[in-house]
């Protein structure tokens, strides 16, 4: 069965704390009739800090949809390569071993997709299949894993790469003053994540399709997946595309959606002979604390069951499709459960949609956190951009170099004049 390997996650170097967010809300919306409610809702998110691709002064400015989207493309091309390199390294694979690239994002638009740029520039084979997913929002992380799982079942021994690239701060709309939108201004953060779904075979250099040289890898053995759509909820989470870009719409009923979605997790688990409330680990989308609280209540599991998702929410905010991958990263860094431990991975998003995976832990336990930190301490600190703080992936790898060769620094020019970077030739 396919195995979801250790992810790589990176967050940008610009940080905003909850207190800074509250101060901005008080300053920018001093005369807003619902300001006390907005401040209370932001405090209740549990988000201590978030990471942004730009300084807050640039984030608050709006140079227009074209400039925003140009920034999105430039940032994606600058930040994705190092994360991809780290994810491939975790899986013990090279770019040429990947048969499918699934790219998910709901915060910018490119055509051709970033998948085409990755294949051309990062050493993937020209016959690598592409699957861009752009309109599933926060559920897309779960959907990407599920589609990669399906692909590896259809093509035994194949390998798939999942990449989530979310720059939520580029969707900030200063003229949207609804309570839901003001809440989202204090909830969402930016991140890039990647992970390999490795098939039953596929040794390095084999192209991942002949099943030779199979080795046991550590991660979640994916066993079953499913989807569920709550009828007549299409307008609960939505985008309105206007001249200024994507305008996020959030209905006040969204926090209560676990009442409709939790039964879908229970049913899928039951069809696989499992009890959804008696799993060893849970990796679920952290849309907000109420989502996690309600899911815990409906599944009858303790709050600690969602500690990885809560940690992501606290330290990074809601990073959309990347949440489930970051929660998985934290499971690895905790040391991983015992081999054979069972669990659920689920992403929730617009629709209202749930994308659910069932799996079990396989392979030896990964290195314990103390060993991991000691290894990270030996990494060379590579500056991210001239005059900027060094930026590193979440596991400690510097942005500036990686297994795929040199990686460009992120653009540091103003929004209104952003060159899209080109990547130097990569050894194949």
* Cα 202-427-405 angle, rounded to 5 deg: 95
| Gap between the Cα atoms of 227 and 357, Å rounded | 9
How many angstroms from the chain centroid is the CA of residue 37?
29
Peptide bond into 386 cis (omega under 30): no
| Gap between the Cα atoms of 194 and 277, Å rounded | 28
Task: Tell me if residue 168 is catalytic.
Answer: no
With contact defined as beta carbons under 8 Å apart, do 159 and 206 qualify? no
| Gap between the Cα atoms of 336 and 9, Å rounded | 17
The CA-atom distances, in angstroms, between 201 and each of 86, 213, 332 are: 20, 6, 22
**Phi, psi (rounded to 5 degrees) for 221:** -75, 115
The CA-atom distances, in angstroms, between 293 and each of 185, 267, 297, 349, 362 are: 22, 20, 6, 17, 29
**Phi, psi (rounded to 5 degrees) for 352:** -70, 130
With contact defined as beta carbons under 8 Å apart, do 115 and 127 qualify? no
The CA-atom distances, in angstroms, between 366 and each of 219, 273, 279, 333, 403 are: 9, 28, 20, 8, 20
Q: Which of 138, 152, 165, 171 is catalytic?
A: 138
With contact defined as beta carbons under 8 Å apart, do 178 and 67 qualify? no
With contact defined as beta carbons under 8 Å apart, do 165 and 133 qualify? no
With contact defined as beta carbons under 8 Å apart, do 220 and 360 qualify? yes
Taken in order 264, 268, 271, 277, is the CA torsion positive or negative?
Answer: negative
| Gap between the Cα atoms of 45 and 314, Å rounded | 8
Name the burial class of residue 351, with classes exposed (0-12), middle (13-18) and buried (19+) by CB atoms within 10 angstroms of its CB: buried
Return the active site residues. 138
């Amino acid at each position: 069965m396919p195995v979801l390997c250790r992810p790589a996650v990176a967050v940008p170097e610009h940080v905003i704390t909850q207190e800074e967010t509250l101060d901005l809300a008080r300053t920018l919306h001093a005369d807003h009739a619902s300001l006390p409610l907005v401040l209370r809702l932001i405090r209740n998110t549990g988000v201590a800090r978030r990471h942004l691709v730009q300084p807050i002064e640039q984030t608050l400015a709006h140079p227009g949809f074209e400039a925003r989207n140009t920034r999105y493309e430039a940032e994606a091309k600058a930040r994705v390569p190092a994360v991809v390199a780290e994810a491939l390294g975790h899986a013990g694979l090279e770019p040429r071993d990947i048969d499918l690239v699934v790219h998910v994002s709901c915060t910018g638009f490119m055509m051709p997709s970033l998948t085409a740029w990755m294949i051309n520039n990062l050493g993937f084979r020209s016959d690598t299949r592409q699957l861009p997913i752009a309109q599933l929002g926060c559920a897309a992380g779960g959907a990407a894993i599920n589609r990669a799982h399906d692909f590896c079942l259809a093509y035994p021994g194949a390998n798939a790469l999942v990449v989530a690239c979310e720059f939520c701060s580029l969707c900030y709309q200063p003229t949207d003053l609804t309570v839901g939108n003001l809440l989202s201004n204090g909830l969402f953060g930016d991140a890039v994540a990647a992970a390999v779904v490795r098939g039953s075979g596929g040794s390095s250099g084999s192209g991942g399709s002949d099943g030779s040289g199979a080795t046991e890898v550590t991660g979640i053995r994916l066993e079953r997946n499913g989807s569920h759509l709550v009828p007549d909820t299409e307008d609960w989470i939505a985008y309105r595309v206007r001249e200024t870009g994507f305008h996020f719409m959030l209905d006040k009923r969204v926090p209560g959606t676990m009442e409709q979605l939790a039964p879908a997790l229970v049913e899928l688990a039951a069809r696989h002979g499992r009890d959804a409330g008696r799993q060893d680990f849970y990796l679920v989308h952290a849309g907000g604390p109420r989502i996690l609280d309600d899911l815990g209540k409906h599944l009858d599991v303790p709050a600690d069951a969602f500690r990885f998702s809560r940690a992501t929410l606290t330290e990074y905010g809601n990073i959309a499709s990347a949440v489930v991958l970051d929660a998985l990263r934290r499971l690895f860094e905790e040391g991983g459960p015992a081999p054979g431990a069972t669990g659920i991975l689920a992403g929730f998003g617009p629709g209202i949609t749930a994308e659910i995976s069932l799996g079990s832990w396989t392979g030896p336990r990964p290195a314990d956190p103390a060993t991991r930190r000691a290894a990270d301490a030996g990494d060379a600190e590579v500056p991210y951009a001239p005059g900027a703080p060094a930026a590193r992936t979440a596991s400690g790898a510097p942005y500036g170099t990686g297994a795929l060769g040199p990686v460009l620094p992120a653009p540091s020019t103003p929004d209104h004049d952003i060159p899209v970077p080109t990547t130097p030739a990569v050894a194949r």
